[in-house]
Amino acid sequence: MVVSGDENAQLLLVKEKVSLLSFKSGIVLDPEGALASWNSSNIHVCNWTRVKCNNAGSQIVQLDLSGLSLRGRISPALANLSSLVILDLSRNFFAGHIPAELGYLSQLRQLSLSWNLLEGKIPFELGFLHQLVYLDLASNRLASDIPAPFFCNGSSSLEYIDLSNNSLSGEIPLKIDCALTDLRFLLLWSNKLVGRVPQALSNSSKLQWLDLESNMLCGELPSEIVRKMPQLQFLYLSYNDFVSHDGNTNLEPFLASLVNSSNFQELELAGNNLGGQIPPIIGDLSTNLVQIHLDENLLYGSIVPHISNLVNHPLELV
């Protein structure tokens, strides 16, 4: 028996339709009735609400169920959508664990599961997603260490990583031989991360937004790392255990490392153990700077007149 290409495509789509219905069976509440079309045998699966297929109508490439207040669990059956490029289940009430099987969606470029009730460990299998550009698991109840393959899997495609507002622990698992060269956003705030900012982050020279606020990170402020980020705009390091250079007496090397970031806009260093005085070089920071927070530290001395160069900034030093 010979099966034509068209028949193969139809069989594949039937399989994907079954997988979507299996996923739907794990949803216990759909308050907006958003998935009502999924119950109709008269509506083609490519026309189901929030489902998109490729141009040929033969494979599902996008499932975006964001913001529908759905309740239930994420079925591993989604792993059967082998051509899926975008999976967005954010801003719902999905509970339980993230299925490890999602790591086998080899074409996936965007995975958004933020603002749910997901718990447990992040599956290391998600590190198999070598095409991934956008990863957002923020604002869940995820715990334990960040799997090393997230940051080191032989791929440099990731541009956006947001794991913030969880209970993740351990060190940031970025090793010196791993390069996230396309990374532009790294958001890890409000976790329980420890250790130093990894030196390998200096390979991410395109970084624009780095938010490590409200963790338990330590060591000297990462001047040699941010010095290699000329496109940096937002740097949030508040509420950690960082110290300044030269035995916690000198802020100048760190501020000097930011001088070449010409579009730099916000600097948050509050609530650390930073010692020393505010050096004159603070006046050489980008004229686009609009906010500096240095309060709740161990700084002393008078405010240097050079700070008047930063005409746009509300400065908090208390």
Q: How far is CA 19 from CA 22, 38, 82, in A?
A: 5, 12, 11
Please indicate, yes or no, if residue 169 is contained in any of the structural domains.
no
**Are 214 and 188 spatial neighbours (Cβ–Cβ below 8 Å)?**
no
Q: How far is CA 139 from CA 33, 102, 172, 225, 297, in A?
A: 25, 19, 18, 27, 28
Please indicate, yes or no, if residue 173 is contained in any of the structural domains.
no
Please indicate, yes or no, if residue 264 is contained in any of the structural domains.
yes
Please indicate, yes or no, if residue 170 is contained in any of the structural domains.
no
Determine the structural domain holding residue 314 and report its residue range: 193-318
Please indicate, yes or no, if residue 247 is contained in any of the structural domains.
yes
pTM score of the predicted model: 0.93
Q: What is the CATH number of the domain that holds 310?
A: 3.80.10.10
Position 259 scores a pLDDT of: 96
150: DSSP letter: G
Tally of domains within the chain = 1
Q: How far is CA 198 from CA 68, 240, 242, 310, in A?
A: 38, 15, 14, 30
Position 313 scores a pLDDT of: 53
Position 120 scores a pLDDT of: 97
Position 317 scores a pLDDT of: 47
Please indicate, yes or no, if residue 257 is contained in any of the structural domains.
yes
In order along its 318 residues, the chain shows pLDDT tens digits of 444 556 677 788 999 999 999 999 999 999 999 999 999 889 999 999 999 999 999 999 999 999 999 999 999 999 999 999 999 999 999 999 999 999 999 999 999 999 999 999 999 999 999 999 999 999 999 999 999 988 887 777 999 999 999 999 999 999 888 889 999 999 999 999 999 999 999 999 999 999 999 999 999 999 999 999 999 999 999 999 999 999 999 999 999 999 999 999 999 999 999 999 999 999 899 989 999 999 999 998 777 665 666 655 555 544
Please indicate, yes or no, if residue 251 is contained in any of the structural domains.
yes
Position 318 scores a pLDDT of: 41
Please indicate, yes or no, if residue 121 is contained in any of the structural domains.
no
Position 5 scores a pLDDT of: 56
